[in-house]
Amino acid sequence: MTVAGVILTSPMCGGTHAVMELLKGLGLKLRGRHRDGIWYPAGQPKTVKGTVIDRGFALPIQHGEFATGHSGPFPTDLPVICNLRDPRNATICHWKRHKSRLKPFSRWLTVRARTQVARLPRQWEWQGDNVLRVWYETIEQESVQREIAEFCGVEWRETNFYGHGGTWSRHPSDWTAHFDAECTALWDQLWFEITSQSWDDWWRQHGGP
């Protein structure tokens, strides 16, 4: 099977790095990244401003290539891997990034988390015949990796993709270690303000593996 190049997307802290390294291990090459309306070709220094485009991806992505991006919209003729992650784990990951200079998690939920958490529900909007939804929590499963390889039109091969990254861990954040009664109540309130649904109702409707 031959497919066009692939877009890899997720919300912030969605675990994109793990899938990105997996794709590299499967032989795909990183074409570039797209964020906030700007295209950055692979290898371009972050200090150099990229190419501003009107909507989505404007440069060609060929078979055997992929691009990453946290912001769409994405072209309907390109396959999109949507990397999902438990929003509670993603939120813990945000907090840990700044833990050394932030208040306890309960305080952070009330002061800083609102704008970051508000970005997370959009990951479930990326659906369609050309979209493969992959859960970060299941990326180590061979069956999931084979599904990704087939979606990209390449042969699956075993690869130690976790050994390629030096700034992230293979162990997902564990929300259960931080969500005590106070944090759970704050989370429920915050999620209702963002989605107009209780967390339990929303999770049952959009739940993961």
- Residue 60 pLDDT more than 60? yes
Beta partners for residue 38, in sequence order: 35, 52
- Evaluate if residue 199 carries a pLDDT over 90: yes
What are the boundaries of each domain within the chain?
A: 6-206
pLDDT over threshold 90, residue 82: no
Asked whether the predicted pLDDT for residue 190 surpasses 80, the reply is yes
Q: Looking at the predicted structure, is the pLDDT value of residue 167 above 50?
A: no
The gap from C-alpha 198 to its chain's centroid, in whole angstroms, comes to 23
pLDDT in tens, 85-113: 888 888 888 888 776 566 788 888 887 77
Q: Which residues contact 129 (CB under 8 A, 6 or more apart)?
A: none
pLDDT category at 183 given cuts 50, 70, 90 is very high
Query: What integer pLDDT is reported at residue 146 of this predicted model?
Result: 96
Q: How far apart are CA 13 and CA 119, in angstroms?
A: 11
CATH class held by domain 6-206: alpha beta
Question: What's residue 45's pLDDT?
Answer: 65
User: 159 with 165: CB under 8 angstroms?
Assistant: no
Number of residues in the chain: 209
Q: What would the pLDDT profile of 13-43 be if each residue is shown by its tens digit?
A: 677 888 888 999 999 999 888 766 677 777 7
Please report where in the chains the tokens 């005590």 appear, as a residue: 180
